[in-house]
A and B are shown apart, each in its own frame.
Chain A
Amino acid sequence: MDTTQFILDLIIYVALVAALVAAIWHWPLYKHSTQRWFLFFLIYVAVQEAVAIILPLYGIYNPVVYNIYIIVSFSFYLFWFSLVLRNRKIPYLFLLLFLISVPFSIYFEDIFWEELLLSSFTVGVILVLFCAALYFLELLGESRIVNLHRSQRFWIIAGLLIFNIGFLPLLFLGSILDPYGLAHRIVLTILNVILYGTYTIGFLCLRRN
């Protein structure tokens, strides 16, 4: 593992830990809201990222960790959207679609143990983008004053939207890109920093409330 990659991974990890600390610190403020699941999710992600950083130090490159992450994270996001959106059926349907795509992806691509599950990942990104768009559409239909700056949901979903839009080029060029190349790692780092940054803002804005 080269130094650049280690630094980039460390940046992601610091951003993630910042989000996790904010989530733990402000737990009493959102423990009864639908966002409470994010604390458990972030703990899982922290453990998963730690494993993903440590394994290459021993010369083990194991995409299984990331494939499990893809399955867990998209399932979680779609489940969470089913709690957040007014139209609950659509996220449930999306979750079902995503879960169906996983065995198909594993069976047809046959790469679960060697490479990332690109098909499932593509499906997940598109479905989460749809859900984020639905959330914004629902907000547009609101006839009350909405303070977005102090809305934890808004910050989380804004982060998810930017993160997943940023992943679209990867979906188009994923097959010809080196998954461990610098360009790939830089984009991934920026996207993760934005995602965990918005999560952190989302938890911190609760304090201002």
Chain B
Amino acid sequence: MSSEELINITFLTLSFVAILVGITLVILFNKYIQRNNKLLASKLEGDLENKRRIQMMELKALRSQMNPHFVHNSLNAIQYFIQRNEVELSETYLVKFSKLIRLFFEYSRRQTITVTQEVELLNNYLQIEQLRFEDKLNYTIRVDSMIESDQQTLPSMILQPMVENAVNHGLFHKKGSGKIRIQFIYVNEFTIKVQIADDGIGINKSIEMYRSSTQKYKSHSSAVLHERLELLNESKKWSISYSIQDLSEIRNTSGTIVTLTINQHDEL
């Protein structure tokens, strides 16, 4: 083999290797980008799924707040005032009821509401419930002075279902008048503790009653609430711990206390 042939063969070999290297690089790059695309697509799908779940939760929360029993009972109570010709009182409650419905719709669309707005909603809700209970229901709402009520935000549609549980499962079966105490306690700049206490029959008795009854024990608003708390914790914007205790287990009194510690992550 002459040296010229050797050079030509070496050149051809090197050139083919170089071309192959170039093609391989492009193919590998293409594969990498495709893999990256898949990861991005799955992340996007996850985000979309999360958004869809949040919207579903908002809808469910709204549905649970607007439960037909509550609407029916409230309107019945207003009708009762109208029949008794207590026009002023019926007007007052009708206004409160319409305002409450408006707030349900408005806040269910929001991710967060301020403490002031939450208190306004709870006040409205409890006033309507008072109407149903014919003043056998008393309540107090206390907000720690350290909390900047107009600035501090909370996830929307969390507290009202809990208060509703206190009314429907705690006080409803109690003989005589009952009381609900709601407290907003300052923990630190990003954390608020909310306690909802009632002096009703207590969670243990309430569960027993539902189990022994022909009805299957199922609270729709509680299920929605748990799902929503789970979703909020998953969002990494909030850390919310939730505990429920029967007061007879810790004090010599009946009732239930729900404690909610809401921590808003500071990157928000």
Determine if chain A interacts with chain B.
yes
Using a CB–CB cutoff of 8 Å, the interface residues on chain A facing chain B are 136, 139-140, 143-149, 158, 161-163, 165-170, 172-173, 176-178, 181-184, 186-187, 190-191, 194
The binding surface of chain A is classed by DSSP as helix
Knowing A139-B33, A194-B19, the reply to whether A169 touches B14 (Cβ < 8 A) is yes
Return the 8 tightest CB-CB contacts between A and B, nearest first: A162-B22, A169-B14, A165-B22, A183-B8, A187-B15, A166-B19, A158-B26, A169-B15
Residues of chain B contacted by A140 (CB below 8 angstroms): 32-33
Is B244's beta carbon under 8 Å from chain A? no
Knowing A143-B40, A146-B33, A177-B7, the reply to whether A166 touches B12 (Cβ < 8 A) is no
Residue among B9, B15, B40 making CB contact with A166, cutoff 8 Å? B15
Closest to A187 in B: B15
Q: How far is the CA of A147 from the CA of B30 in the complex (A)?
A: 9
Does B26 contact A162, Cβ atoms closer than 8 Å?
Answer: yes
Q: In the complex, how many angstroms separate the beta carbon of A138 from the nearest chain B beta carbon?
A: 12
Is B48's beta carbon under 8 Å from chain A? no
Knowing A145-B41, A146-B37, A162-B26, the reply to whether A184 touches B11 (Cβ < 8 A) is yes
- Count of residues in B whose CB is under 8 Å from the partner chain: 27
Does A144 contact B40, Cβ atoms closer than 8 Å?
Answer: yes
Using a CB–CB cutoff of 8 Å, the interface residues on chain B facing chain A are 4, 7-12, 14-15, 17-19, 21-23, 25-26, 29-30, 32-34, 36-37, 40-41, 44
Q: In the complex, how many angstroms separate the beta carbon of A83 from the nearest chain B beta carbon?
A: 21
Residues of chain A contacted by B17 (CB below 8 angstroms): 169
Residues of chain A contacted by B10 (CB below 8 angstroms): 173
Knowing A144-B40, A162-B22, A191-B19, the reply to whether A170 touches B33 (Cβ < 8 A) is no
Q: How far is the CA of A162 from the CA of B37 in the complex (A)?
A: 24
Does B18 contact A166, Cβ atoms closer than 8 Å?
Answer: yes
Does B21 contact A165, Cβ atoms closer than 8 Å?
Answer: yes
Q: How far is the CA of A178 from the CA of B8 in the complex (A)?
A: 9
Does A161 contact B33, Cβ atoms closer than 8 Å?
Answer: no
Residue among A161, A172, A194 making CB contact with B14, cutoff 8 Å? A172
Q: How far is the CA of A170 from the CA of B30 in the complex (A)?
A: 27
Knowing A162-B19, A165-B19, the reply to whether A181 touches B8 (Cβ < 8 A) is yes
Q: In the complex, how many angstroms separate the beta carbon of A156 from the nearest chain B beta carbon?
A: 12
Residues of chain A contacted by B8 (CB below 8 angstroms): 177, 181-183
Residues of chain A contacted by B26 (CB below 8 angstroms): 158, 161-162
